Amino acid sequence: MLETHYERNLVVNNREIEHHGYFVIEEVFNLINKSLQDKKYHKREKRAEDTVTDEGYEVYVELRPYKEKTNYVTLMIKLRIHFKNVKNVVRQVERVPKRFQQGDVFIFMDAWFMTEWEGRWGMNPVIFFLKGAINKLFYVFPQEASYRNEAVEDAAYLTAKIKMLLRSYNDPEQAFPTEEDVRKSVEEEIKASEKK
């Protein structure tokens, strides 16, 4: 079904996760694989590249995990993972040396809700067109809305897991902002929204 979809709806567009500093590439990929398995996605790798440069090495991986909900509905998350300027380093963690990578991590995520209603019995072109027009302009059918919401929730779950892992590599003082910093940023956001 993945090869012949007639309608693709982008529900999460280019969500970005950025991290600079220490990380372990293997742990990042293990977490992504485990999170996708938890949500019942089938893994599919579209592209993988390794490049060695003067500043370090780069790793680019594009994943397209998918979950078939019915014969006519599929959810897909498109992940573009790019590790740049990566160098291997040894760092002391609780007085024990541990191997890390140091560099930049960029992860971009899209979530897609894909349907193939045309393949259903009784769906002639007129009914297919009317259903699509009603769905886009007037009323979203509850079953389709639940699938869209599930795709958004799955992308949010994966984003939260990745951010939590990458944040854990920071020093304890940098891992979480202080309460005072959070209050200042909230006050600035409120003031900015009042000016609009």
DSSP string, 87-145: EEEEEEETTEEEEEEEEEEEEEEEEEEEE-GGGSTT--HHHHHHHHHHHHHT---HHHH
Domain-embedded: residue 131: yes
**Tens of pLDDT, residues 143-195:** 778 888 999 999 999 999 999 999 888 876 555 666 777 788 888 888 777 77
Residue 52 has pLDDT above 80, yes or no: yes
Domain-embedded: residue 88: yes
Residue 128 has pLDDT above 90, yes or no: no
Closest listed residue to residue 75, CA positions, set 84, 83, 66 = 66
Domain-embedded: residue 2: no
Domain-embedded: residue 32: yes
Per-chain mean pLDDT for the chain: 86
Range of the domain at 49: 7-195
Averaged pLDDT, 40-47? 94
Domain-embedded: residue 1: no
Task: Output the CA torsion 52→53→56→62 (10° steps).
Answer: -60
Residue 138 has pLDDT above 90, yes or no: no
Rounded to whole angstroms, the Cα distance separating 58 from 151 reads 30
Between residues 135 and 177, the one the model is more confident about: 135
Residue whose pair of structure tokens reads 């014969």 in the numeric block: 71
Rounded to whole angstroms, the Cα distance separating 79 from 39 reads 15
If one counts the domains in the chain, the total is 1
Domain-embedded: residue 126: yes
Domain-embedded: residue 100: yes
